[in-house]
Structure 1
Amino acid sequence: MDNQFNNSFTFNEEESIDLKQELRRYFRYWPWFVIALLVSLLGAYFYVRYAPRIYETYSKIKILDESEGLELPTSAFVFKRTNINLENEIEIITSYLIMDRVVRELNLNTSFYEEGTIQTSQIASLPFAYEQIIKPDSIERTLSYKLELNTKGFQITNLKTENVFDFNTYSTKQDDHNLPFNVALEDDTQLDKLRDKAFIINFNPIKSTALGLKNKIKVEAIGEASDLLKLSIKGESVGRSEKIINTLMDVFNKDGIYDRQLVSKRTLDFIDERFVFLAEELDSIEIDQEVFKEKNNIIDIATDAELGLEQRSESEAEQFKLENQLTLSRLLGEALKGNSESDLLPANIGIENGGINTLISEYNLAVINRDKLENSAGKNNPAVQSAQSQVDDLKANISRSLNTYTSQLEASLKQLETRTQKFAGRVSQIPQQERLFKAIQRQQKIKESLYLLLLQKREEAAINLAITEPSIKVVENALSGTKPISPKPNIVYAAALLGGLLIPFGILYLIFMLDTKLHGKEDITKVTSKIPVIGEIPNLKKSKDIIFKDPNDRSPLAESFRILSANVDYILPIADGEKGKVIYCTSTIKGEGKTYISLNLSLALSSMNKKVLLIGADLRNPQIHAHINEDKQKSGLSNYLHDVEYDWKEALINGFGMHPNHRILLSGNIPPNPAHLLTNGRFKKLLEEAKQEYDYVVVDTAPTILVTDTMLISQYADATVYIARANYTERNLLKFSKELSESGKLKNMAYVINSVGAGKSYGYGYNYGYNYGYGNPSNS
């Protein structure tokens, strides 16, 4: 097979996946996708149409820090830092204790529903008066009642026991009954609207209701650095959800207030106990202070010292003020001297002299006026020169005023310096006894500060107890969205569309993944790229005529076999003289269509005005006779191989009148020892004689994996056509045929794929299976 044709059939064994081919595999099943899409979209429509509408209700609260309560300015905390732990607050809000209080306050263990034609929706309350008789704590198991309004009155059914209570009026209060509630229709105008409607009343234990509410409530922090919390709940009834959220905030707030009041009470008790000891210690220190003053003849030294310090501080402040004015005046004078004619002076820089400030303002206005006139009339204009004179005059006045003001400031500053030195000397003359007296005062101040601190805390605790601030600030009361969060049509339809595509895709993917059958040329090239595929015969299971009877036929079947015959001619070795070529047709197992291929291949070769002999060499399970309506036991190859006197030419059949150059040698009687007959030398002799008279000898041999018949005579073939059937042959069987070719057991081998595009059934009327079914298994 080292010729040009074989080279044209080589492929890269590591060929990448053909995406177009993979997509084509799935597009073959497009009706599945269409049906799945229709079903999923229809299901999505009914879900969106009849699913209960779920709304989200939320609120926002700010957790107030306890340290932000009523505190006096002398708080001990210099830097105030928040003490809020939002995770703890979230756990408290969603605790069973809080949920239990909410359930009890709103009577949530009683729920109401309105029955519709298809769905039942939850409502916040009944559209008529309702009075509950049973106490919430006495509900130990779930109770359900159905309430209907008919033409006479109420009809109430216990859904657990199926007991029916009929009332002749639209009120249950006048009749004796053992129902856990009373209902009454007080507004007769609503009767026509409510008639023939049904409502469900459910009673649940408080514990299960509280646990259910605990799972429904969602609390989360808003941002990382924020102390705001968002409370949310999802439900069918907007009114019921808003009541739950608002009540939850109120219960949580009251719980925090109660905790703070409890702390205030305990604080008051503790401070009152400490006051007794502090009062005794303060009395002792005050007596020591009095004795010290009498002994050292001291009246009030601290007052004199404080007065001296205050006077010195005031004097220093006035001195600083004068120095500041003096500096500003000097800076303004420097600015005036270095100022150009067109520059303005800084105004209102802090000089406390109204005259100078007024002159500066007039000067700046004069400069602006001069510049405007100069820009419009030029420098030589009389008006400009007059404006320039005014500017010069104002500048001179400002300079004189600044000099006068500076002199005044310097004189005042000298007087203040003398006064400040006088006050400093007075402070230094404080008696030495004051230092000794401070030690006593220090002890007194410590006790007094502690006493005042406790007194302050006591007042704070008393005020907090009287007007305890809320533990939360409601940022937003319960709000509900105008649109339901579920179902969302866009998402539902998108999911349905995606599911309608993915479900059949997934099923097909699993089918393809679990599929071990050969389907086309690509499956062969993945196993071996060295053995060419010379033909792909289409599946024509719906066609009645599957035999190439007419040499001029232009059907797809005829064209496919013409292509196959041409390709077979290419793989044959170069002609050696005038002898014909021997072509074997074999397969791996029974049912792959080797007889069908060999028959039509021989007819295709005959249609090219070539003399062709078809030999049925499958002695164990012959099938050629079935296509030409001949007797299975008609003499043929087995008779020739067995009888040395038998002339094989006498058994030739012209099975197709339109193919005058075509002859058939049937298998003959089924022998008990096919392998022995094929190896007795007469088969080789037959081929040699046939090659002298025919251009092509096509041999229909036995399957290779079941018996050794083909292997025994394989050396006589010029080319071997190996048939594999699409959707029938196992892909792993290709390795067997590959080994036969690579080991040289089959000469010049090429593949032909039969029934390409076939489904699960085989359309040629062959009832083949994997069990080959030879007559004498012992000789197989």
Structure 2
Amino acid sequence: MTEREFLNDKERAIKVDYRKISTILWNMKYILLMSIILCLTGAYFYIRYTTPVYKKNITVVLKNQQTQYSDNYQLISNTLGIGNKTSPDNQIFILKSATLMSRVVELGNFNVRYFSKGRFIDKEQYTDSPVKFSFKPKANYEKVDINLEITFSTGKEIFIDSLIVNNEPVSLPARKINFGQIVNTPVGSFNLTAQENIDVSKLIGEMRITRSNVENAARALTGALEITSSAQQPDALIISLREKHPKRIEDILNMLIDEYNILTKENDSQSILSTISFLDERIMGLEDELEEVEGSFTKYQTANELVDLGSQSQIAMNSEQGYKERSNELRLQLNLLANIKKSFESNVHELIPANIGITDGTLNMSISQYNQYIIDRNRMLAGSSENNPKVQIVNDLIATLRKNIKQSIDNLEAGYKLQLQSTTRQQNLNQRELIAMPSKQLALTRMSRLQQVKEPLYTLLQQKREEALLMLSSLSNQAYVVDKAFGSDFPIYPKGGDIYMLALIVSIFVPVFIVLIMNIFRDKIIFEKDITDRTDILLLGAIPSALKNRKSPMKAHIITATGRDPLTESFRMLRTKLENFTINKKKQGGLILQISSSGPWEGKSFVSINMSLSLAYLGKKVLLIGADLHKPALSKYLGIDSKEKGLSTYLAGMVDDIHQVIIPHESTPNLEIIPAGPIPLNPSELLSLPLLEKTLDELRNEYDYIIIDSAPFLVVSSGFIISKYADCTLYIVRSDYTKFSAIDALNSIVKEGSLQSVMLLLNAVSFNKKSIYGVSRSGQAYGYGYGYGYVEHNKKIKNKNNYN
């Protein structure tokens, strides 16, 4: 075979194979049809037995209270705290509050629901309910959930099927009750009364009545409530509610706006009335207080003949400040002296802190002189000892100075203490003088301050009272209803068209998605395209599935010289292709073709036999060698005794001439066989002997083709050993058996040079079997059996049959 680059390292361009997609869809037509029928049927039953949901709207406009009165309205409302907050967000929050909805639920008794029981679903009744349920809870049992199922009996009797209170079944003394009869339970009592214009004797069927506690019912309704406003008109709100009865929705929405207006009026009026009451009380109290302050002020001033004492008070205050400063200064000096004295007494021949704030100059001079002597002494001691006369002189001077400094400190302390005592006495006298000043001046100041505070406040409260009265008389509804609750009487859910469309989409895409997932996770090769997409190694062709003998699976279908079945035709085509290819022989003589695979059960022995037969039928002299010494299958296919002498016998030296182990085919004169022989202990070592290569070289001159059935490549090393002597390797891949990883492994083997001159053959392809993965070569089976009205095994087929 000419040299050829088997692998292409460049990534292949991804192309959409529309033909394959259409083939897959066509092969799935029955699956898709069944899926469409099932999904549409499910959609029908879902629509038929799903409780419909309705939606209705009410449009309101929030009034801006500020524009109705004056520009000062906002200031007034803020001062009074009456909550003039007409922001749409705030009002939406109020409208969706559980408190407001609880008032609606309680007023309209919307926490009680009536259902007419059906075979599959229960139909809700509202105004058309034939009975009315009334419940009176006991103390501490306001939050009660009741589920009551009843059956109308003949006459005026009702049969109670079940009673569940707070998810717990309740047993009743009597199951039958009359209309209007009170039934006692552990949590309260209830009764059932007939609606007006209802003939109870004609009531039949079953009903279910549920009663939720007000809070839960209100929260459920607020959860189904939608409120939106437009950016162009933020004060206009569209309030929508989704429920299972259209008339019930209308009543809830209309009552919600009514209760909202009532609530806002109550809140606003209550706030204004509370403000007016507070203002009245405060104004009366201020009048009394002002009267008392003004009278006391005049009486006090007249009785005590008070004058302006501001100058005297200022002088006394200045003196007090001076005494304080002088006392602080003396205390500071005493503290400094105490610190110096402590340091002076505890540290001998150590420096005394200087310039720390002592005001006495003599003491500061003595300390400086003392410190200088200490420094001189330390300097002299650095170069001499205490016995040095100069050091002793300095020690004497230091001792004298220490006495003088200590005496100075004692004298200064005594003097400062006397000054501090004198200053303290003068300060006490000044304080008594200050205290002795007429306290009447302080009383007059307090009176004047009270009068200045209360007069403006009295005037302001009078003005606010008048404004509050004006606002009380001007209150109106906060929300103006533009359109009462309206909407279509057709349910918004389920919508038949949308459900059917969704079912149709699901019925198509789910099977396709499943097939896609199956294809993504598929790890086995099925058709030729699976090979060509993953490797550049030449694919010689494909072999259709062969009929097997059920009693002996090893005896698969063997082609004949005159056969016209697809299997025989496929081997004829492979034979023609093999002859047309130019294969570079390693040595002169016949062509040595190795047939192997990745692992067992991929059909290498089957292909070896039929390929040998096909070449022999052409008149070529063919030798078939069973070189799989590990697990030989060739002998089993051909019915040769496994104990018969063969290749292993010859390589082991038990036979001198290779012709002694050659067996002629019983029905094909041009085909001879060398069976594998008994399984040896060292198959790979025997095949590695130079004897095998020498023998093959000799046999080349005797045969046109030598077909070698070798062991699988990815299981043992024997396949690689045989490939060194073979001119070409035919690598068998079995459809729906060999995994993609085998192709990847083969690519690696070829790329690293361990295997050269290799071709692929796809075996056991079910051409006549439709596949959800698509088919190879546009679904054609190469026209195998074209023009013939029969196949082997006496199985007649029609002319239109193909093997897809």
Give your verdict on TM over 0.5.
yes
How is 1:236-315 mapped onto 2 (pairs within 5 angstroms)?
Answer: 236-265=244-273, 268=276
Q: SS state of the match for residue 737, structure 2?
A: coil
Q: Which residue of 1 aligns with 2:64?
A: 65
Aligned residue number for residue 739 of structure 2? 730
Q: Counterpart in 2 of 1:588?
A: 598
Please report how far the alpha carbon of residue 486 of structure 1 lies from its aligned counterpart in structure 2 after TM superposition.
0.6
Alpha-carbon shift at residue 627 of structure 1 (Å): 2.4
Q: CA deviation at 1:90?
A: 0.7
**Are 1:228 and 2:227 matched, yes or no?**
no
Paired residues of 2:283 and 2:461 also in contact (CA < 8 A): no
1:688 aligns with 697
AA matched with 2:100:
I
SS in 1 for 2:136: coil
Give the 3 Å change call, closer, same or farther, for CA 162–614 of structure 1 in structure 2: farther
- In the alignment, which residue of structure 2 is the partner of 1:2? 2
Partner of 1:156: 160
How much has 1:84 moved relative to structure 2? 3.2
1:508 has 2:515 as partner: yes
1:655-699 deviations in whole A, cap 9, x for unaligned?
462x43222222122222222322333322332333222211111
* 2:544–2:766 contact (8 Å) kept in structure 1: yes
**1:131-146, aligned counterparts within 5 Å?**
132-135=134-137, 138-146=141-149
The Cα of 1:584 is off from its aligned counterpart by: 0.2
1:703: which partner in 2? 712
- 1:719 shift after superposition: 0.8
Q: Does 1:92 align with 2:94?
A: yes
Which amino acid is the alignment partner of residue 629 of structure 1? G
Measure how far apart 1:97 and its partner are. Answer: 1.4
Q: Which runs of 4+ in 1 moved over 6 A?
A: 7-12, 72-77, 186-189, 270-278, 450-455, 457-460, 542-545, 575-578
Alpha-carbon shift at residue 472 of structure 1 (Å): 0.6
Gap change, CA 1:576 and 1:246, over 3 Å in 2 = closer
Structure 2 match to 1:426: none
With over 3 angstroms needed to count, the CA separation of the structure-2 counterparts of 1:599 and 1:201, relative to structure 1, is same
Residue from 510, 532, 542 that aligns with 2:538: 532
AA aligned opposite 1:209: A
Whole-angstrom distance in 2 between the partners of 1:234 and 1:542: 67
**Partner of residue 122, structure 1:** 124
Give a deviation string over 1:161-203, Cα, whole Å, max 9, x none.
Answer: 3636767785243x775583322446787557631x1111222
Per the alignment, residue 14 of structure 1 pairs with: 12
Aligned residue identity for 2:88: L
Residues 1:637 and 2:647 are matched in the alignment:
yes
Look up the SS of the partner of 1:610 in the other structure: coil
Counterpart AA for 1:158: S
Moved more, 223-232 or 487-496: 223-232
Q: Is the 8 A contact 2:629 2:711 kept in 1?
A: yes
Post-superposition shift, 1:51? Answer: 0.3
The change in CA–CA distance for 1:672 and 1:703 in structure 2 (over 3 A counts) is: same
Q: 1:480 to 1:156 in 2, by over 3 A?
A: farther
Secondary structure of the residue aligned to 2:645 is coil
Instruction: Kindly provide the amino acid, as one letter, of the partner of residue 746 in structure 1.
Output: L
Q: Note if contact 2:130-2:198 (Cα within 8 Å) is conserved in structure 1.
A: no
Q: Paired residue for 1:49?
A: 48
Query: What per-residue deviation string (whole Å, max 9, x for no partner) do you get for residues 94-122 of structure 1?
Result: 11211221121122232222211110122
SS at match of 1:698: strand
| Distance of aligned partners of 1:224 and 1:543 in 2 relative to their CA distance in 1, 3 Å threshold | farther
* Separation (CA, whole Å) in 2 of partners of 1:10 and 1:129: 84
Q: Is the 8 A contact 1:222 1:228 kept in 2?
A: yes
SS at match of 2:577: helix
Which of 666, 669, 678 in structure 1 is aligned with 2:678? 669
Percent identity over the alignment is 26
Could you tell me how far apart the structure 2 residues matched to 1:527 and 1:92 are?
Answer: 67
1:501-530 Cα distance to aligned partner (Å, 9 max, x none):
33233333333222222334344344432x
Mapped partners of 1:505, 1:666: distance in 2: 50
Q: Any conservation in 2 of the 1:26–1:508 contact (CA below 8 Å)?
A: no
How far 1:712 moved relative to its partner? 2.0
Q: Relative to structure 1, is the Cα distance of residues 192 and 646 closer, same or farther in structure 2, using a 3 angstrom cutoff? A: farther
Please tell me the root mean square deviation across aligned C-alpha atoms, in Å.
Answer: 3.8
| Closer/same/farther in 2, CA of residues 188 and 18 from structure 1, 3 Å limit | closer
Q: Offset at 1:54?
A: 0.7
8 Å CA contact 1:139–1:204 kept in 2: the answer is no
Structure 2 match to 1:477: 484
Please show how residues 433-472 of structure 1 align to structure 2 within 5 Å: 461-462=468-469, 464-466=471-473, 468-472=475-479
Q: 1:139 touches 1:203 (CA, 8 Å); kept in 2?
A: no
Check whether the contact 1:129–1:184 (CA below 8 A) recurs between aligned residues. yes
Q: If the length of structure 2 is used for normalisation, what is the TM-score? A: 0.65
The amino acid of 2:203's aligned partner reads L
Query: Aligned equivalents of 1:535 and 1:76: distance in 2?
Result: 92
**Tell me, what secondary structure is at the counterpart of 1:482?**
coil
Structure 1 Cα separation of the partners of residues 524 and 577 of structure 2: 25
* CA-CA distance at 1:262 after TM superposition: 3.0
Q: Partner amino acid for 1:512?
A: N
Contact 2:540 2:761 (C-alpha < 8 Å) held by counterparts: yes
**Contact between 1:572 and 1:581, CA under 8 Å: does it hold in 2?**
no
1:208 counterpart residue number = 216
> Contact 1:724 / 1:751 at 8 angstroms: preserved in 2?
yes
Please tell me whether residue 554 in structure 1 is matched to residue 554 in structure 2: no
Q: Decide whether the 8 Å contact of 1:155 with 1:165 is kept in 2.
A: no
Residues 340-388 of structure 1, C-alpha deviations (whole Å, 9 max, x = no match): xxxxxxxxxxxxxxxxxxxxxxxxxxxxxxxxxxxxxxxxxxxxxxxxx
Distance between the aligned counterparts of 2:170 and 2:665, measured in 1?
85
Q: Deviations over 1:295-331 (max 9, x none)?
A: xxxxxxxxxxxxxxxxxxxxxxxxxxxxxxxxxxxxx
- Preserved CA contact (<8 Å) 1:582 1:696: yes
CA drift at 1:711: 1.9
Match in the other structure for 1:498: 505
Provide, for residues 621-660 of structure 1, a one-character-per-residue CA deviation record: whole Å limited to 9, x for no partner. Answer: 1112232233222222222223464544344444462x43
Deviation at 1:717, TM superposition (A): 0.7
Secondary structure in 2 matching 1:693: coil
Q: Could you tell me how far 1:740 is from its partner in structure 2?
A: 2.9
For residue 57 of structure 2, give the secondary structure of its aligned residue in structure 1.
Answer: strand
Residue 35 of structure 2 corresponds to 36
3-state SS of the aligned residue for 2:263? Answer: helix
Q: Is the 8 A contact 2:146 2:211 kept in 1?
A: yes
Please tell me the residue identity of whatever aligns with 1:261: S
Q: Does 1:713 align with 2:722?
A: yes
Kindly indicate whether the alpha-carbon contact (under 8 Å) linking 1:216 and 1:233 is maintained by their aligned counterparts in 2. Answer: yes
Distance in 1, Cα, partners of 2:565 & 2:16: 30
1:384-430 residue CA offsets vs partner (Å, 9 max, x unmatched): xxxxxxxxxxxxxxxxxxxxxxxxxxxxxxxxxxxxxxxxxxxxxxx
Instruction: Give the distance between the partners of 1:23 and 1:275, measured in 2 at CA.
Output: 96
CA offsets per residue over residues 436-492 of structure 1, 9 Å max, x none?
xxxxxxxxxxx9xx999987x867644543462111101111123221011111111
Distance, in Å, in 2 between the alignment partners of 1:716 and 1:723 is 19
Match of 2:107 among 98, 105, 108: 105
The normalised TM-score by structure 1 is 0.67
- Closer, same or farther: CA 206–750 of 1 in aligned 2, 3 Å: same
Contact in 2 for aligned 1:549/1:603 (Cα 8 Å): yes
Contact 1:572/1:718, CA 8 A, preserved across alignment: no
SS at match of 2:494: coil
What CA distance in whole angstroms lies between the structure 2 residues aligned with 1:577 and 1:230?
A: 94
Q: Structure 2 counterpart of 1:728, which letter?
A: Y
5+ long unaligned stretches in structure 1: 282-446, 761-780
Matched residue, 2:802: none
Q: Does 2:636 align with 1:626?
A: yes
Give the distance between the partners of 1:249 and 1:730, measured in 2 at CA. Answer: 71
Q: 1:328-347 maps to which residues of 2 (within 5 A)? A: none
User: Partners in 2 of 1:617 and 1:76 — Cα distance?
Assistant: 106
